[in-house]
Amino acid sequence: MYLSAHHFGYAQVGAVVARTLSLAWKIPIIPVNHCVGHIEMGRLITGADNPVVLYVSGGNTQVISYSNRKYRIFGETIDIAVGNCLDRFARVLNLPNNPSPGYNIEQLAKKGAKLFDLPYCVKGMDVSLSGILSLIEKKAPQVIASGEYTREDMCFSLQETVFAMLVEITERAMAHTGSRELLIVGGVGCNMRLQEMAKAMCEERGAHIFATDERFCIDNGAMIARAGELMLEAGLKTDVSKATFTQRYRTDQVNLVLLLLAADFSGWLLLRILGAEHLAAKHGTCTEAVHAMAMWVAMTSTLPIVLNLATLVVLALTVWQVKKVKKLCEGITSSTHWLSRSSVRVGIGSSAKRALNEYARGRPEFALLVDKSE
Closest distance to other proteins from the beta carbon of 208 (Å): 15
Of 124 and 131, the one with the shorter C-beta distance to other proteins is 124
DSSP label of 148: S
Assess 77 for contact with other proteins (CB under 8 A).
yes
Closest distance to other proteins from the beta carbon of 200 (Å): 4
Out of 23, 192, 200, 310, the residue judged to bind other proteins by CB under 8 A: 200
Of 76 and 229, the one with the shorter C-beta distance to other proteins is 76
Other beta carbons within 10 Å of 240:
14
Please check whether residue 56 is in contact with residue 194, taking contact to mean a CB–CB distance below 8 angstroms. Answer: yes
Of 259 and 269, the one with the shorter C-beta distance to other proteins is 259
d(CA 307, CA 47): 53
Assess 143 for contact with other proteins (CB under 8 A).
no
Three-class SS state of 371: coil
Kindly determine how many residues on this chain lie close enough to bind other proteins according to the rule CB under 8 A: 42
Of 63 and 90, the one with the shorter C-beta distance to other proteins is 63
Assess 168 for contact with other proteins (CB under 8 A).
yes
Of 49 and 196, the one with the shorter C-beta distance to other proteins is 196
Other beta carbons within 10 Å of 26:
9
Contacts of 174 (CB under 8 A, 6+ apart): 52, 180, 182, 205, 207
Assess 127 for contact with other proteins (CB under 8 A).
no
Query: Hey, which residues between 103 and 122 contact other proteins (CB under 8 A)?
Result: 115, 120, 122
For the sheet containing 52-56, what is the strand order? Answer: 70-76, 61-67, 52-56, 181-185, 208-211
Please check whether residue 245 is in contact with residue 14, taking contact to mean a CB–CB distance below 8 angstroms. Answer: yes
Q: Give 32's Cβ-side CA count (13 Å radius).
A: 29
d(CA 147, CA 7): 40
Closest distance to other proteins from the beta carbon of 91 (Å): 21
Q: Which residues bind other proteins (CB under 8 A)?
A: 60, 65, 67-68, 72-74, 76-79, 81, 115, 120, 122-126, 160-161, 164, 167-168, 171-172, 175-176, 196-201, 203-206, 247-250
